[in-house]
Amino acid sequence: MSHALQRSRPAGIRRGETASGWLFTAPMLVLLGLFLVVPVLMALWVSVSDWGGRGSPFSGGVSFVGLKNYATVLLGGGLAEQDFGTSLRNNAWYVILVVPTQTALSLFLAVLVNRQVLRGRGFFRTAFYFPSVTSSVAITVLFLFLFSTSGAVNGLLGWLGLNGPNWINDPDGIFHFGADSAPAVLEENTILGVPIWDWIGGPSVAMCVYIIMAVFTTSGTFMLLFLAALQNISVEVQEAAMVDGANGWQRFWRVTLPQLRPTLFTVLTLGLIGGWQVFDQIYTGTRGQPAKTTLTPAYLSYQASFTDQEWGQGAAIAFILFVIIVAFTLLQRWALRERPVSRRRMRPYQDTRGGAR
């Protein structure tokens, strides 16, 4: 269409568009270049240098150290490697638990709110979405109170006769189920300086507070995405499935869900990307404590640079995190790619078509 339009335009009015085109985009180019592109290049240099935070990283005293900072973090065998391994473990469990839960919950909420006959739809939608508009700092402050030892959550558990844990002060992995000692094999063998026993122990009780908070704050946003997609699904297909005798459950799994695939992809991708970027909450709340079980790569990268003045290591961690996020996004794109429907999955449908009817 734009081709046809272009040809029909008088040639004269196109004059000077190159100049104004660059002029109009110049502020964007300068600002994004200066604060997105240049920083990445500069950090790349810092990650392979021994800059200590004083003066310019380009001054004469700073020298090239190759991949030393990356090696220290990934293979060094010291505290830096152990901290990085710990932060990866913490964040991996966070992602594993947050992404599926928030996706399932937001889809569930969307399906509930999407009912045509529902009264008070606006109210419910507002209620579920409101946590998403508040800042991560404000919501963390609230959750620190709710999950404090004498807080609301433990108060509620007390009503039910349960003794709540110490939440944000409890470093025990939830999949250790209170076990104190580990089999020697799991204790002696380590990955990135962290014993296998700790890798499989799950997130600490403290980390679970952040996991619950993430599900609480993001489900509303993703609910809106699913709602928009649900409203675009044609009624005819649903009705056709109904005529064919599919019940509500079958209609959801066989008819609705496949049509939500693009939205599902968006939600999972956004969830995954966001899940690896936990920073604000940790900075506001526990700052990696108790026992480093709420340390995340993003917070560790900040801490290494600004607190410990290990700028090379901090930058290296940031780039490793970048690679992790890109790798997971690509992996997911591959896993959720459009595939031709396999014979096996087609069979039930072909059977009904060729069957008694």
Contacts with another protein in 261-290 (CB under 8 A)?
Answer: 266, 270, 273, 276-277, 279-280, 283-287
In degrees rounded to 5, what are phi and psi of residue 211?
-65, -45
Among 129, 182, 246, 252, the residue binding another protein under the rule CB under 8 A is 129
Site for another protein in 201-240 (CB under 8 A): 216, 220-221, 224-225, 228
Given the complex with another protein, which of 101 and 284 has the nearer CB atom?
Answer: 284
Only one of the segments 105-113, 169-177, 195-203, 234-242 lies at the binding site for another protein (rule: CB under 8 A); that segment is 105-113
Cα 233 vs. chain centroid, distance in angstroms? 27
When asked if residue 160 is in the footprint of another protein (CB under 8 A), the reply is: no
Least distance to another protein from the beta carbon of 192, Å?
Answer: 20
When asked if residue 110 is in the footprint of another protein (CB under 8 A), the reply is: no
Q: Is residue 194 within 8 Å of residue 86, measured between CB atoms?
A: yes
When asked if residue 137 is in the footprint of another protein (CB under 8 A), the reply is: yes
333 to each of 182, 226, 257, 260, 270, how far by Cα in Å? Answer: 38, 19, 18, 15, 12
Ramachandran category for residue 10: left, alpha or beta (phi over 0 → left; psi -120 to 50 → alpha): beta
Cα 231 vs. chain centroid, distance in angstroms? 26
When asked if residue 11 is in the footprint of another protein (CB under 8 A), the reply is: no
Secondary structure (H, E, C), 11-65: HHHHCCHHHHHHHHHHHHHHHHHHHHHHHHHHHHHHHCECCCCCCCCCCCCCCEC
100 to each of 49, 96, 114, 211, 272, how far by Cα in Å? Answer: 39, 7, 21, 11, 10
Binding-site string for another protein from residue 294 to residue 323, where x marks contact by CB under 8 A and - marks none: ----x--xx--xx----x--xx--xx-xx-
Binding-site string for another protein from residue 333 to residue 352, where x marks contact by CB under 8 A and - marks none: --------------------
Given the complex with another protein, which of 74 and 274 has the nearer CB atom?
Answer: 274
Site for another protein in 27-86 (CB under 8 A): 27-29, 31-32, 34-40, 42-43, 46, 56-57
Least distance to another protein from the beta carbon of 207, Å?
Answer: 16
